[in-house]
Amino acid sequence: MLRVLPFRAMPGLIECVPNVSEGRRPDVVDRLVAAVRAVEGVRLLDRTSDADHNRSVITFAGPPDPVEAAAHALVDAAIREIDLRAHQGEHPRLGAVDVVPFVPLAGTTMEDCVALAHRFGRAVAERHGIPVYFYAKAATRPERVRLPDIRRPQFEGLPDVIGTTHVPDAGPARTHPTAGALVTGARPPLIAFNIELDTADVAVAKRIAKEIRESSGGLPAVQALGFALTDPPRAQVSMNLLDTSVTSLARVWREVETRAVGAGTRILRGELVGLMPLDAALAVTRDALRLEGLARDRVIEAHFID
């Protein structure tokens, strides 16, 4: 039986945020989530699926050993359930379990998460015969710090470069026939944030994404891509905000809005994928309402948390 422990009773906490290449079959996502929930000592924090991206984000946390066990349970289940040869979606991907980041929370350090990512990745490679890449703080070479650089060839193109630019950090230099490859690493908390535009012209979203992302000379600590969504047709600017103390949600919204209006359209809505830190939400409120001095001690619930 699953026994959820109070977080304050735990010696140290790590968050894990796997992205899996399945967002259209709820029964499959249910079974992946069930594999995580079956691990004692792990708390499921969130699950988010997107049919257009054909991708789900599953967020859980706990002490290091249970979190590592839950990550393995998720990989085991995903390999049984997902065949990338039949997978299509808007979001780039290398694997059935595309990326497994570990994030330090209370009582743990980035170094703890780097060690965990290396141990986990090597174990996955040995157990399943999957090529594994280490990224972000766990990267072992500078060209593998950025996730988009690793994921650029995608599942279909990886076999062509796995013996040259994409020799894996662990595991065989060949893709798994149905599960592809896996990327794992350690990073600070990030915010996955999408903005939908009131237009079906994906070229507008792609142009805005290029202008605002750091790699094209845009906003620091921002990754962005433009996608076409369906039902109803509309364009989306999809972003990862790597450090909201450098570039805030409010600034990203303003920059996208300015460019959207300049292109003759407007923002329809924003979408948070997974979870976000409280401090980032407070920063948005401070900016929107010009509330100086708004901090955690002004939040009612914060006074009831040890």
d(CA 183, CA 131): 9
pLDDT in tens, 217-242: 999 999 999 999 998 999 999 999 99
- Reading the block at residue 279, the tokens are 């401090």
Half-sphere exposure (CA, 13 Å, Cβ side) for 252?
32
Catalytic pick from 53, 72, 87, 91? 91
105 located within any domain: yes
**Which of residues 156, 186, 216 is at a domain's end?**
186
Residue 7 has pLDDT above 60, yes or no: no
pLDDT in tens, 133-177: 999 999 999 999 999 999 999 999 999 999 999 999 999 999 999
Kindly state the DSSP code that residue 5 receives in the 8-state scheme. Answer: P
306 located within any domain: no
d(CA 249, CA 255): 10
* 108 and 25 within one domain: yes
Residue 166, classed as helix, strand or coil, is: coil
* 25 and 125 within one domain: yes
* 269 and 153 within one domain: no
The number of residues in the chain equals 306
91 catalytic residue (yes or no)? yes
d(CA 133, CA 118): 9
pLDDT in tens, 78-118: 999 999 999 999 999 999 999 999 999 989 999 999 999 99
Amino acid at 67: V
Number of helices and strands in the chain (H, E): 8, 11
The CATH number for 160's domain is 3.30.990.10
Amino acid at 293: G
Integer CA distances (angstroms), 170 to 112, 116, 125, 159, 185, in order: 19, 14, 6, 16, 13
Residue 287: what pLDDT? 85
Reported as a pLDDT band with limits 50, 70 and 90, residue 49 is very high
CA angle 95, 197, 282 (to 5 degrees): 80
* 284 and 181 within one domain: no
Q: Which domain holds residue 263?
A: 191-300
Q: How many domains does the chain have?
A: 2
* 178 and 226 within one domain: no
**Which of residues 169, 186, 203 is at a domain's end?**
186
* 240 and 109 within one domain: no
Reported as a pLDDT band with limits 50, 70 and 90, residue 11 is low
Reported as a pLDDT band with limits 50, 70 and 90, residue 4 is very low
305 located within any domain: no
Kindly state the DSSP code that residue 130 receives in the 8-state scheme. Answer: -
Phi, psi of 161 (to 5 degrees): -120, 0
* 241 and 138 within one domain: no
